[in-house]
Structure 1
Amino acid sequence: MEFRGAITALVTPFRNGEVDEEAYRAFIEWQIEQGIHGLVPCGTTGESATLSHDEHKRVIRICVDQVKGRVPVLAGAGSNNTREAIELTQDAKDAKADGALLITPYYNKPTQAGLVAHFKAIGERVDMPFIVYNVPGRTAVNLLPETLAILKKEIRQVVGVKEATGDLNQVSRVLEFCGEDFMVLSGDDFTALPTMAIGGRGVISVVSNFMPHQMSAMCEAVAAGDLTKAKALHYAMSPLFRAAFLETNPVPAKMALDLMGRFPFETRLPMVPLQPQNLEKLKAALTEAKLV
């Protein structure tokens, strides 16, 4: 299974405090119609931190069922508790997801040796493709390129990484140490183009929640060698890259979808609505992009 191109880290629609299955299915269908290359349910953008285990498992099953094999489903399944990560990864496999997105353990700050042991423990119990998720800004630990090369060598399920340091030097080192067969995906919209330009496969994107066609088109342009078109799309989307992080993700993305009429804005605490001044900035960016 290849994970490439524009892969949306899906928001999870809520209604009256519960997962809105109808809105979620319609949203997934729209993403596929718009040409998205893959989907991630239950990632950070999906507010996985506030989903119960039962909800987490249900959201992945809804996604897999709605997709019906048309694009790859990479299920968020990581945890800072290795036993819990094994359970969630096994459930992702049982749900027939195409792969598991496994974040590095957060808050407890394991060493590099601890990271290797964590992923080895999951690999010993579950046989499916793993994309490791490196996001030091949220986890307080950086999975080093040298360590990632060890994971690739010693754990056959580790087939790629979502690299969200925003550090192109680190991305380059990952590609150098892990080789061209390793699937390197940008974890930041603004580094999608440069990551692909030096050998990455694509991006796990926040902005493609509300701009799936444009992000997919940019990734396809890079893959086709049309950097002129890719750069034009990159810079056209750049104001939205910034707007999507005016406040903590996924609040701006969910508000953008509300303003576009996809489904009403609702998050779970501790996520709260955009501050008024940032809401105006988001509206302006969406209006400039002709999305509202």
Structure 2
Amino acid sequence: MNTNRKAPTGILGFPIAPFTKNNKLDEYALAQNIQFLLDEGLEAIFVACAAAEYPSLSKAEYEAMVEVAVTVTGGKVPVYTGVGGNIQTSLELARVSADRGADGYLILPPYLVTGEQAGLAAYFKAIAESTDLNAIVYQRDNVSLSISTLEALAEVPQVVGVKDGLGNMELNTLLTQTFKKRFGWLNGMPLAEVTMPAYVPLGFDSYSSAISNYIPHISRKFYKGVLSGDQETVNDIYQQVILPINNIRSQRKGYAVSLIKAGMEIMEMPIGQTVRLPILPIEKEHYAEMQTILKNALDRFPKETSIQSI
């Protein structure tokens, strides 16, 4: 367990859950996915989270995913897990994460339950304090965190970060100006490269990258352009890669997950397109569009022979 009370920074890897055609977790394919992200220099691995269809996983599958991630990373980068939803399940999976050697967890919202801010603070606090692992709280969907809620969570040493999936920039400004470096700030918007240039000036220094599962060198080139002020590169990647992929992603609900698997398959990573209901695989015409986008992306932004850190 890593007791460093600091949220990971940089580009964060969110491996998918590879399923076989008979709907079983493919642990070997998962290990390959994680190793690929490590080889590409991603700064942390977030396993069994939303990109890995967290709500559909059995406890046995969850445990297996955590074990694979901890084994493959071998302490090279922090391993975070996903917990959240049902409070009792969250507490159980937080303990699983600790027992299996994870460094922390991302606490997802209590889905289908809308609580008062005091209730939300107590929900995040109860999970964060249930182990000594680092915890990152995630505002998205039905959860919008207030200053009072974060004041309560700031008293919990385990809470090291706040991840935003709402895109409310007025709220983000208030939160980051109030708490500054007390928390690490993570951009968790869908296809976070779209919004990262707007988040960096507020103090956000990391983001979850879906496209890093299949074109990580382009995500890194984009982020380096954002940080260095290379607007020409940023605009070029926006127009040629990020916005076209985002346009497909927005066509159907669930594409935030199934589009990752399609991209990986197109890039000849043998994980298949099997997803769990209610998510569906992407449609044939969108798959064809994705093939064209990725071919053009690789032609325009070929992978360099070595990865340089930001």
TM-score with structure 2 setting the length: 0.85
Once the 2 structures are TM-superposed, how far is the Cα of residue 176 of structure 1 from its aligned partner? Answer: 1.2
Structural mapping, 1:33-48, within 5 Å? 33-48=39-54
Match of residue 259, structure 1, among 250, 259, 266: 266
Structural mapping, 1:141-290, within 5 Å? 141-188=142-189, 189=192, 190-223=194-227, 225-228=228-231, 231-232=234-235, 235=238, 236-238=240-242, 239-247=244-252, 248=254, 249-263=256-270, 264-290=272-298
Inter-CA distance 177–227: structure 2 relative to 1 (3 Å threshold): farther
Match of residue 19, structure 1, among 1, 25, 31: 25
Structural mapping, 1:98-113, within 5 Å? 98-113=103-118
Inter-CA distance 245–261: structure 2 relative to 1 (3 Å threshold): farther
Tell me the percent identity: 26
| 2:18 paired with 1:10 | no
Aligned length, in residue pairs? 286
Q: CA RMSD in A?
A: 2.2
Paired residue type of 1:70: K
Contact 1:148 1:178 in 2 (8 A): no
C-alpha offsets along residues 158-212 of structure 1, whole Å, 9 cap, x if unaligned? 1111101122222222211221241110012122232123210110122222222
SS of alignment partner, residue 121 of structure 1: helix
Separation in structure 2 between the aligned mates of residue 242 and residue 7 of structure 1, nearest angstrom? 22
Contact 1:162 1:204 in 2 (8 A): no
Gaps of 5+ in 1: none
C-alpha offsets along residues 53-103 of structure 1, whole Å, 9 cap, x if unaligned? 111111011111101111221111222x21211111121112221111001
Inter-CA distance 284–166: structure 2 relative to 1 (3 Å threshold): farther
**Which residue in 2 is equivalent to 1:90?**
95
Runs of 4+ in structure 1 deviating by more than 4 angstroms, as ranges, are 220-223
Separation in structure 2 between the aligned mates of residue 26 and residue 180 of structure 1, nearest angstrom? 35
Separation in structure 1 between the aligned mates of residue 162 and residue 7 of structure 2, nearest angstrom? 12
Paired residue type of 2:262: M
Paired residue type of 1:133: Y
Match of residue 68, structure 1, among 74, 89, 93: 74
